[in-house]
C-alpha cells in the first residue's frame, strides 16, 4: 500500500482508536489527537504542490480486477486542491472544536469518530479515479454527515435535519450510481481518465444524456442546488464546528468536485451547459434572496452557502460551454473555470471564518437571533474584526479575496453573451442580469449579518449570558482564515500559478494536450469594465436595500408557506408514511397463515408464468434409475406421516410425525450412499424435534372446536399449487440438460486443487467457502441477537 492510500485511510483507521483515547486519556482533550493527524495529512499533501504542474501522481491497489474495480488514487491539480481544503480546514475545525465542545458535557469520542470518518470519506472521493470507489466514499460522506448533523440527537430539529440530509443526498447518490453504470456500459471501464479519453466515441450513445442527468442529480443534491437546497439550512442544527467543516469547505463542495471532474466527459452536450449553468445561476439568486429574511445567524450563512455554491456551479457550466463550443476562445473557458476554482478557495476561507464567528457569538451570548443581538463590537472587538473581513469578502468588496473572484464571476457572466450557441445572443442576457441580482442580495445579507450583530444598541436583557471575548484558542482558527482572506486578496498570485491554474487545467485535459496557455495573473485593476460598473451598482443599490429593509422586507410575508419546497417535502413524507402504513395494515393482519398464502401464491404465480412464457416444461424418463421396493415403501411412509401432521389432534403427535418425515428422508440418503448427508439430516432432525418439543410443551392443548381453520379450500389449492409447481420444476430440471454437469469437475479437482478426499466437505469448505462463511456469520448474528434479548429481559426483571 502506497503512502497516498495510507493518507486516505489514515482518518478512518485512526477513528477506531478515538473511543479508547477518549476513555483512557481524560485529562487531554480528544481533539488534540485529531488536530495532530489533520496537520500531518495537510503537510503531506503540501509536498505535491511543487510537482503537480509537471506531472500527476497515480497509485493503484487491486480490489476487484475482474470487474474493473481497482482503488486507483490519483493526484492532479483539482484533487490536490480539494485534499488541501479537506485537511487544512479540517485542522482548523479540530482546533476550534477543542475550545467549543466541553469534554465534560459532550460525547467527544463519538464526535471525533464521525469527524474522522467524514474526513477520510472526502479524501477518498476527491482522490479516486475509479467511479465505483468514488461512489463508495461518496455514500460514506452521506452516512458520516448524517451522524455529525444529528450529533445532538436529543434535539428534535437535529434528528430532523440529519434525516433530511440523508434522504436527499442518498437519493442523489443512487441516481449518480445509475449514471456511473451507464458510463460503464458505454465505455467498458470505470476509470475516469479512460472514460475522458473515449468522450468523442460516446457522445452519440443513447445512454449519454440519461447518464448526464443522473450524475447531475447526485452533484446537485450534494451541493444543495435548487430545488434540493432545502436540506442544508436544516443541517445547521449540527454543532458549529460541523457546520464550518461540512458546509464551507467539504461536503457541499463534493458536488462541485464531481461536476468539475466529469466536465471533460459531458461538456460536449448543450444539456450539460444549461443544467449546470442554469440551475447554478438560479440557485445563486434564489438563495441570496431568501437569506435576507432569515433571523438566525447560521440560517443566513446556510442560505449564503447555497448561494455561493450556485455561483461556482454556474461558472463551471459557462466554462464547459466555452471549451467545447468556442474552442478558439479558450480564454473565456479558462477565465470562467479559473474564477470557479479561485472562488472555491475564497469561499472556504471567508465562510469558514464566518461560521466560527457565529459559533463564538452563540457560545458567548447564548443566542444566534439577530433580533436579540447588537452592540457587540466594543465587547468582542477581535470577533468583530474577523466578521468584518469575512462579510466584506463574501459581499465582494475590495481589498479582500472575495472581490477578486466576484469580479471574475461577473466578467464571465458578461462574456457568456458572446457565445454563439444555444441562442445565447438572446437568452444569454439573463445570465449577467440574474448574476447581478444575486450579488445584490449577497451584499444585503452580508451587511445584515455584520451590522445587526455588532453595531446598534446592546441588549443584555435579551441574552442568556453576559457576553465577553472568546478565549484565544477559539479565536485562533478564524483569525488564521481571516488572515488568509486578506493575504489572498493582496497577494492572489501566490495561488494562481501554484494551485489554481493546475486545478483549472485538470478540469480540461484537452487544453493541456493542445498546449494552450492562459495568463493566470490576477490583479485588482482592469480598467473601467462592465463588471466594475456592476460592482459599483451592487454597492449603491445594496446599501439602499439594506437601509430600507424594514419597508420592502414585508414582501417576504406574502409568500405562502404552502407553496414552499419545504412544505412539499414535509407533506410528501407525511403522505408517504401514512400511505405506507395503510398499505401495510391492509395485508399485515397478524395471521401467519395469511402471510404464507401471500408468499406461496406469489411463488406459484411467478414460477408458473416463467415456465409458460419460456416454454420450459419437458419430461423424459431417459437415464433415470429404476424405482425399487425400498423407495416405494419409504415414499408411502413419508406420505402417511405428512397426512398425520395435518389430522393429528395433539401437537405431540404432529411433532413425532414431522420427525418421521425427516428421518425417512435420511433413509433415502442411506439408499443413495450419501453418508455425510445422512449424518447431517439426522443431526438436524434430532435438534428440530427437540426444539419443537421444548417450545410446544409450554403451549395449551389444541381445542379443535375453538380453533377452526377457515378457507380450507384456499389452503388446499395453494398447497396443491406449490406441490405441482415444484414437481414440474424438478421434472424440467431433470429433463433439460442445458450444459454439462459440474459434478465431474469436483471429481477431477477435489483432491488436486483442495487437497481433500471427502468431496462434500471440500465443496462446503473450499469451493463454496464464502457461502459457508456467510452462513456462519448469519448464525452468529442470530445468536448474538438472541443473547441480547435474553440479557435485556433478565436486566428488566432485575430492575423490577
For residue 250, the SS3 value is coil
Predicted confidence band of residue 514 (pLDDT cuts 50, 70, 90):
very low
C-alpha cell at position 787 = 443473547
Q: Does 173 score more than 70 pLDDT?
A: yes
Helices (H), 223-329: 231-234, 240-246, 251-266, 270-291, 297-325
Range with the poorest average pLDDT among 269-283, 403-417, 511-525, 685-699: 511-525
Distances 344 to 53, 248, 254, 257, 278 between C-alpha atoms, Å: 19, 9, 11, 10, 19
Range with the poorest average pLDDT among 123-127, 446-450, 575-579: 575-579
- Over residues 746-771, the pLDDT tens digits come to 888 888 887 887 777 788 788 877 88
Cell 473581513: give the residue.
389
Do the beta carbons of residue 317 and residue 291 sit within 8 Å? no
Distances 225 to 11, 203, 278, 798 between C-alpha atoms, Å: 29, 25, 11, 54
Task: Give the C-alpha separation, 716 to 708, whole Å.
Answer: 15
pLDDT at 800: 52
Angle, helix 156-187 to helix 131-149, in steps of 10 degrees: 180
Per-residue pLDDT averaged across 613-619, rounded? 80
Computed over every residue of the chain, the mean pLDDT equals 86
Cell 474493473: give the residue.
68
- Over residues 532-568, the pLDDT tens digits come to 999 999 999 999 999 999 989 888 888 877 778 888 8
Strands 69-75 and 57-64 come out as: antiparallel
Task: Give the C-alpha separation, 691 to 704, whole Å.
Answer: 24
H/E segment holding residue 62: strand 57-64
H/E segment holding residue 360: helix 330-365
Task: Give the C-alpha separation, 510 to 393, whole Å.
Answer: 33
Do the beta carbons of residue 375 and residue 459 sit within 8 Å? yes
Rg (CA), the chain: 33
Per-residue pLDDT averaged across 230-241, rounded? 90
Per-residue pLDDT averaged across 507-517, rounded? 57
Task: Give the C-alpha separation, 301 to 313, whole Å.
Answer: 18
CA 132 to chain CA centroid, nearest Å: 13
pLDDT at 527: 76
* Burial bucket for residue 482 (CB in 10 Å: 0-12, 13-18, 19+): buried
- Over residues 446-458, the pLDDT tens digits come to 999 999 999 988 8
Do the beta carbons of residue 90 and residue 9 sit within 8 Å? no
Q: Does 371 score more than 60 pLDDT?
A: yes
Q: Does 649 score more than 80 pLDDT?
A: no
C-alpha cell at position 5 = 492510500
Backbone angles phi, psi at 328, to 5 degrees: -70, -20
C-alpha cell at position 172 = 442523489
- What is the residue-wise DSSP string for 160-228? HHHHHHHHHHHHHHHHHHHHHHHHHHHHS--BHHHHHHTHHHHTTSTTHHHHHHHHHHHHHHHTT-TTG
Q: Please choose, from the candidates 632, 407, 645, the residue with its C-alpha nearest in 3D space to the C-alpha of residue 538.
A: 407
Cell 471549451: give the residue.
323
H/E segment holding residue 629: helix 629-647
Task: Give the C-alpha separation, 321 to 417, whole Å.
Answer: 12
Give the number of other Cβ atoms within 10 Å of residue 59's Cβ.
18
Q: Which long-range contacts (CB under 8 A, 24 or more apart) does 661-668 make?
A: 662/688, 662/689, 664/634, 664/637, 664/638, 665/638, 667/634, 668/631, 668/634
Helices (H), 366-400: 381-395
pLDDT at 706: 46
Per-residue pLDDT averaged across 613-636, rounded? 81
Do the beta carbons of residue 287 and residue 306 sit within 8 Å? yes
Task: Give the C-alpha separation, 527 to 510, whole Å.
Answer: 32
Q: Does 377 score more than 70 pLDDT?
A: yes
Strand-pairing partners, residue 72, are 60
Report the sign of the C-alpha dihedral through residues 89, 90, 96, 100, in that order.
positive
- What is the residue-wise DSSP string for 79-134? HHHHHHHHHHHHHHHHHHHHHHS-TTTS-HHHHHHHHHHHHHHHHHHHHB-BHHHH
Q: Does 790 score more than 90 pLDDT?
A: no
pLDDT at 700: 65
Task: Give the C-alpha separation, 145 to 252, whole Å.
Answer: 11
CA 55 to chain CA centroid, nearest Å: 31
pLDDT at 769: 79
Per-residue pLDDT averaged across 636-654, rounded? 86
Instruction: Give Cβ neighbours of residue 308 (< 8 Å, ≥ 6 apart).
Output: 284, 343, 347, 351, 394
Strand-pairing partners, residue 381, are none
Give the number of other Cβ atoms within 10 Å of residue 573's Cβ.
13
Q: Does 150 score more than 50 pLDDT?
A: yes
C-alpha cell at position 777 = 456469520
pLDDT at 326: 46
Q: Does 186 score more than 90 pLDDT?
A: yes
Q: Please choose, from the candidates 384, 388, 409, 411, the residue with its C-alpha nearest in 3D space to the C-alpha of residue 400.
A: 388
528 Rama class: left (phi>0) / alpha (psi -120 to 50) / beta: beta
DSSP letter for 296, please: B
pLDDT at 328: 38
Q: Does 357 score more than 70 pLDDT?
A: yes
C-alpha cell at position 284 = 445563486
86 Rama class: left (phi>0) / alpha (psi -120 to 50) / beta: alpha
Q: Does 81 score more than 90 pLDDT?
A: yes
Instruction: Give Cβ neighbours of residue 782 (< 8 Å, ≥ 6 apart).
Output: none
C-alpha cell at position 55 = 506531472
Per-residue buried b or exposed e for 412-424, using 16+ beta carbons within 10 Å of the residue's own CB: bbbbbeebeeeeb
DSSP letter for 72, please: E
Strand-pairing partners, residue 191, are 130
Task: Give the C-alpha separation, 236 to 294, whole Å.
Answer: 13
SS (H, E, C) 514-575: HCCCCCCCCCCCCCCCHHHHHHHHHHHHHHHHHHCHHHHHHHHHHCCHHHCHHHHHHHHHHH
Predicted confidence band of residue 179 (pLDDT cuts 50, 70, 90):
very high
pLDDT at 519: 64
Instruction: Give Cβ neighbours of residue 199 (< 8 Å, ≥ 6 apart).
Output: 264, 265, 268
Task: Give the C-alpha separation, 302 to 572, whole Å.
Answer: 23
Predicted confidence band of residue 63 (pLDDT cuts 50, 70, 90):
confident
Q: Please choose, from the candidates 242, 260, 240, the residue with its C-alpha nearest in 3D space to the C-alpha of residue 251.
A: 242
Predicted confidence band of residue 646 (pLDDT cuts 50, 70, 90):
confident
Predicted confidence band of residue 313 (pLDDT cuts 50, 70, 90):
very high
Amino acid at each position: 500500500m502506497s503512502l497516498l492510500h495510507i493518507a486516505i485511510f489514515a482518518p478512518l483507521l485512526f477513528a477506531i482508536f478515538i473511543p479508547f483515547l477518549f476513555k483512557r486519556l481524560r485529562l487531554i482533550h480528544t481533539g488534540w489527537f485529531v488536530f495532530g493527524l489533520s496537520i500531518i495529512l495537510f503537510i503531506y499533501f503540501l509536498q505535491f504542490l511543487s510537482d503537480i504542474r509537471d506531472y500527476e501522481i497515480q497509485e493503484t491497489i487491486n480490489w476487484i480486477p475482474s470487474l474493473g474495480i481497482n482503488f486507483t488514487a490519483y493526484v492532479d491539480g483539482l484533487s490536490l486542491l480539494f485534499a488541501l481544503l479537506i485537511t487544512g480546514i479540517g485542522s482548523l475545525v479540530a482546533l476550534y472544536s477543542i475550545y467549543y465542545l466541553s469534554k465534560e458535557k459532550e460525547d467527544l469520542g463519538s464526535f471525533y469518530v464521525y469527524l474522522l470518518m467524514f474526513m477520510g470519506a472526502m479524501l477518498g472521493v476527491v482522490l479516486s479515479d475509479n467511479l465505483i470507489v468514488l461512489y463508495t466514499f461518496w455514500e460514506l460522506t452521506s452516512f458520516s454527515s448524517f451522524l455529525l448533523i444529528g450529533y445532538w440527537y436529543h434535539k428534535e430539529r437535529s434528528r430532523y435535519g440529519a434525516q433530511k440530509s440523508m434522504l436527499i443526498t442518498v437519493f442523489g447518490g443512487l441516481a449518480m450510481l445509475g449514471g456511473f453504470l451507464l458510463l460503464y456500459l458505454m465505455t467498458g471501464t470505470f476509470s475516469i481518465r479512460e472514460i475522458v479519453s473515449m468522450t468523442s466515441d460516446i457522445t452519440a450513445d443513447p445512454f449519454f444524456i440519461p447518464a448526464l442527468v443522473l450524475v447531475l442529480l447526485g452533484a446537485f443534491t450534494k451541493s444543495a442546488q435548487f430545488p434540493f437546497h432545502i436540506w442544508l439550512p436544516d443541517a445547521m442544527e449540527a454543532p458549529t464546528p460541523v457546520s464550518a467543516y461540512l458546509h464551507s469547505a467539504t461536503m457541499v463542495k463534493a458536488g462541485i468536485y464531481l461536476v468539475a471532474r466529469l466536465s471533460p466527459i459531458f461538456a460536449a452536450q448543450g444539456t450539460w451547459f444549461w443544467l449546470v449553468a442554469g440551475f447554478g445561476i438560479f440557485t445563486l439568486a434564489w438563495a441570496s434572496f431568501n437569506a435576507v429574511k432569515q433571523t438566525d445567524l447560521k440560517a443566513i450563512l446556510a442560505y449564503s452557502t447555497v448561494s455561493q455554491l450556485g455561483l461556482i456551479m454556474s461558472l463551471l457550466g459557462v466554462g464547459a460551454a466555452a471549451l467545447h463550443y468556442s474552442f478558439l476562445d479558450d480564454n473565456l473557458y479558462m477565465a470562467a473555470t479559473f474564477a470557479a476554482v479561485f472562488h472555491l478557495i475564497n469561499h472556504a476561507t471567508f465562510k469558514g471564518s464566518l461560521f466560527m464567528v457565529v459559533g463564538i457569538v452563540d457560545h458567548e451570548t447564548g443566542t444566534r437571533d439577530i433580533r436579540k443581538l447588537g452592540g457587540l463590537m466594543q465587547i468582542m472587538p477581535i470577533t468583530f474584526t474577523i466578521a468584518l473581513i469575512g462579510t466584506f469578502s463574501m459581499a465582494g468588496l475590495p481589498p479582500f479575496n472575495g472581490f477578486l473572484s466576484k469580479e471574475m464571476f461577473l466578467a464571465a457572466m458578461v462574456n457568456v453573451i458572446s457565445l454563439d450557441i444555444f441562442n445565447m445572443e438572446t437568452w444569454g442576457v439573463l445570465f449577467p442580469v440574474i448574476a447581478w441580482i444575486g450579488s445584490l442580495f449577497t451584499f444585503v445579507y452580508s451587511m445584515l449579518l455584520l451590522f445587526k450583530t455588532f453595531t446598534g444598541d446592546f441588549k443584555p436583557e435579551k441574552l442568556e449570558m453576559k457576553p465577553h471575548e472568546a478565549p484565544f484558542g477559539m479565536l485562533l482558527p478564524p483569525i488564521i482564515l481571516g488572515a488568509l482572506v486578506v493575504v489572498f486578496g493582496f497577494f492572489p498570485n501566490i495561488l494562481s500559478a501554484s494551485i489554481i491554474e493546475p486545478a483549472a487545467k485538470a478540469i480540461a485535459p484537452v487544453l493541456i494536450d493542445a498546449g494552450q496557455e492562459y495568463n493566470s495573473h490576477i490583479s485588482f485593476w482592469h480598467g473601467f469594465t462592465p463588471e466594475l460598473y456592476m460592482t459599483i451598482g451592487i454597492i449603491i443599490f445594496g446599501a439602499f436595500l439594506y437601509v430600507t429593509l424594514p419597508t420592502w422586507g414585508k414582501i417576504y410575508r406574502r409568500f405562502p408557506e404552502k407553496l414552499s419546497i419545504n412544505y412539499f417535502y414535509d407533506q410528501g413524507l407525511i403522505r408517504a408514511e401514512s400511505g405506507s402504513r395503510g398499505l401495510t395494515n391492509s395485508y399485515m393482519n397478524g395471521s401467519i397463515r395469511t402471510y404464507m398464502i401471500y408468499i406461496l401464491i406469489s411463488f406459484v404465480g411467478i414460477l408458473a408464468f416463467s415456465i409458460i412464457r419460456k416454454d420450459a416444461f419437458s419430461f423424459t424418463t431417459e437415464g433415470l434409475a429404476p424405482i425399487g421396493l425400498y423407495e416405494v415403501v419409504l415414499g408411502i411412509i413419508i406420505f402417511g406421516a405428512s397426512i398425520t401432521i395435518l389430522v393429528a389432534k395433539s401437537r405431540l403427535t404432529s411433532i413425532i410425525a414431522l420427525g418421521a418425515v425427516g428421518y425417512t428422508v435420511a433413509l433415502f440418503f442411506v439408499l443413495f450412499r450419501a453418508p455425510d448427508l445422512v449424518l447431517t439430516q439426522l443431526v438436524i432432525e434430532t435438534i428440530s424435534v427437540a426444539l419443537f418439543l421444548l417450545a410446544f410443551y409450554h403451549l395449551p392443548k389444541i381445542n379443535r372446536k375453538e380453533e377452526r381453520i377457515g378457507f380450507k379450500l384456499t389452503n388446499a389449492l395453494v398447497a396443491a399449487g406449490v406441490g405441482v409447481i415444484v414437481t414440474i420444476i424438478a421434472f424440467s430440471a431433470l429433463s433439460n440438460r442445458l450444459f454439462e454437469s459440474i459434478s465431474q469437475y469436483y471429481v477431477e479437482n477435489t483432491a488436486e486443487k483442495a487437497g481433500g478426499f471427502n468431496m462434500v466437505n471440500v465443496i462446503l469448505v473450499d469451493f463454496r467457502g464464502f457461502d459457508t462463511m456467510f452462513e456462519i456469520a448469519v448464525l452468529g448474528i442470530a445468536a448474538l441477537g438472541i443473547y441480547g434479548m435474553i440479557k435485556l429481559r433478565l436486566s428488566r426483571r432485575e430492575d423490577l
